[in-house]
Amino acid sequence: MTPFEQETAISDLGAGRYGVDVSGNWSVPTGPNGGYVAALILRALTAAVDDPSRAPRSLTIHYLSAAREGPAEVAVTVERTGRSLTSLTARLVQGARLIAIATAAFSASRDGVEFCDLTMPSIPGPEHYRAPRIPEGALPIARRWDTRWAIGRPRSPLDPGPAADRAVAGGWIRLPEQQAIDAIVAAAITDAWMPPVFSKVDEMIAVPTVDLTIHFRTALPLADLAADAFVLAVFRTNVIAEGFLEEDGEVWAPDGTLIAQSRQLAVVLPFG
């Protein structure tokens, strides 16, 4: 098993219940990262579907409390299984604390009209960019991704610089163990990047996720995507209003295949 597989491993407890061990390696200031929590939940949902022909198509998670390092449980309910679509709900709990609730849809591929008006950003490949230096004292999650910043201005509350005109950020990303990008890895990637709002605002803020929706636009893993390949992730924030912001994301394979789209709502809090 790769480190990521170990950190998102589940044990079948029966009756739709799955034991997980929340890893501290994915911590951000408010607790384990929301994308990592999404990956834990999606692994349990995938096990409950237990049908390789039905790929994840939609996952929405509402985060009610910050997870903590240690044991937890995902309780999955299969709400309906049709001829091609399975709909499920899940609850992640730690002791008496409800951490997150989720809804998901799994489906076989469907034939019909197809088009994509979105275009992958035109940037050089990952070999064009240097790997960032990870400073001493960096958050644990900083060592769980291999990144090449390519879009927007690298900037954070701890490393401020000139503000950008737009809140956009992204670049090439993969796991350092170079694991093939399946749907569970892709789910984690949708909340893996430095929030783009940091590139635009001067205030010291934190932006914990309220809800995250992921639409998987192709069945994964892609046959032609090597296990050590980077994918391109780009994220944008267009509005902050009444203490909340949205963040829209896209994850692209190097050949221009759209892997996933995401949108999350986050609350804007003072940092520190």
Predicted confidence (pLDDT) per residue in 81-121, tens digit: 999 999 999 999 999 999 999 999 999 999 999 999 999 99
The pLDDT of residue 133 is: 86
The pLDDT of residue 135 is: 82
Query: Which CATH fold topology does 3-108+127-270 show?
Result: Porin (2.40.160)
The pLDDT of residue 138 is: 84
Q: Which residues of the chain have pLDDT under 50?
A: none
The pLDDT of residue 179 is: 92
The pLDDT of residue 160 is: 65
* CA–CA separation, 35 and 173 (whole Å): 14
DSSP single-letter state for residue 238: -
**CB-based contacts of 267: which residues, under 8 Å, 6+ apart?**
207, 208, 210, 243, 244
**CB-based contacts of 237: which residues, under 8 Å, 6+ apart?**
167, 168, 195, 196, 197, 200, 245, 246, 247, 248
Is 0.85 surpassed by the pTM of this model?
yes
> In Å, what is the CA distance from 23 to each residue of 31, 65, 139, 204?
10, 16, 13, 27
Over the chain, what is the mean pLDDT?
Answer: 94
The pLDDT of residue 155 is: 67
Question: Any idea where the domains of the chain sit in the sequence?
Answer: 3-108+127-270
Residue 43, CA atoms < 13 Å, CB-side half-sphere: 24
* CA–CA separation, 264 and 67 (whole Å): 18
Place of tokens 């992640």: 92
The pLDDT of residue 158 is: 59
